[in-house]
Amino acid sequence: MTVEPVAEPLVGFRRWGCRRGALYSGIFVAGRFVPNPALAMIAPRVKPVPWPTDQDRVAKCFALRGHDAPQRDCNCGFSAYYELPAEPDLPAPDAIWGAIAAWGLIIECERGFRAQYARPIALLDRHNPDDHGERGRRAANAAEAYDIPLLEHAELVAYAGWHGELRAA
């Protein structure tokens, strides 16, 4: 694991919880999406904030003794996998996959990284048989809101490679 500022953005792939055109960080538990559980622990009344549509997102740490994110011995920062799985799992109806460009401070791990700055660059067009919300347009609504393309698997990987360094190979 190394920590180093990078010149060229790294690109990676990740899941979000997606609601009404907004992408949220969070976890998936027993078929449900839980937005930002770390924030919910320290501030249960604070509404989760989606990734902004019009600017880069800056990582925050929600650990008790906050620090600049990301840090090596924490799990803060925007996480992504180097590789888009062949069959990306959709553990909840509102789960969607996409690619991010990330830069600033980067913590590299075995299968992915955590980054200081990130923005979504494209979303995966993948049918989710469990999703009956938003008239089947959940991912399309988000792609519109963030003004990014909705792409098939191979297209998404290629498109991501145009936006930064792809370490999947």
Residues that bind Zn ion (CB under 5 A): 61, 63, 71, 74, 76
Residue 76 or 139: the one with the smaller Cβ distance to Zn ion is 76
Residue 99 or 105: the one with the smaller Cβ distance to Zn ion is 105
Distance CA 150, CA 143 (A): 6
Q: How far is the CB of 1 from Zn ion (least distance, A)?
A: 14
Sign of the CA dihedral with 43 first, then 66, 69, and 12 last = negative
Q: How far is the CB of 106 from Zn ion (least distance, A)?
A: 14
Residue 49 or 74: the one with the smaller Cβ distance to Zn ion is 74
The residues pairing with 40 across neighbouring beta strands, listed in sequence order, are none
Residue 49 or 61: the one with the smaller Cβ distance to Zn ion is 61
For strand 165-166 and strand 3-19, is the pairing parallel, antiparallel, or unpaired? parallel
Question: Are 120 and 148 spatial neighbours (Cβ–Cβ below 8 Å)?
Answer: yes
Q: How far is the CB of 72 from Zn ion (least distance, A)?
A: 9
Question: Are 127 and 140 spatial neighbours (Cβ–Cβ below 8 Å)?
Answer: no
Q: How far is the CB of 65 from Zn ion (least distance, A)?
A: 9
Residue of 160, 91, 113, 120 lying closest to 22 (CA atoms): 120
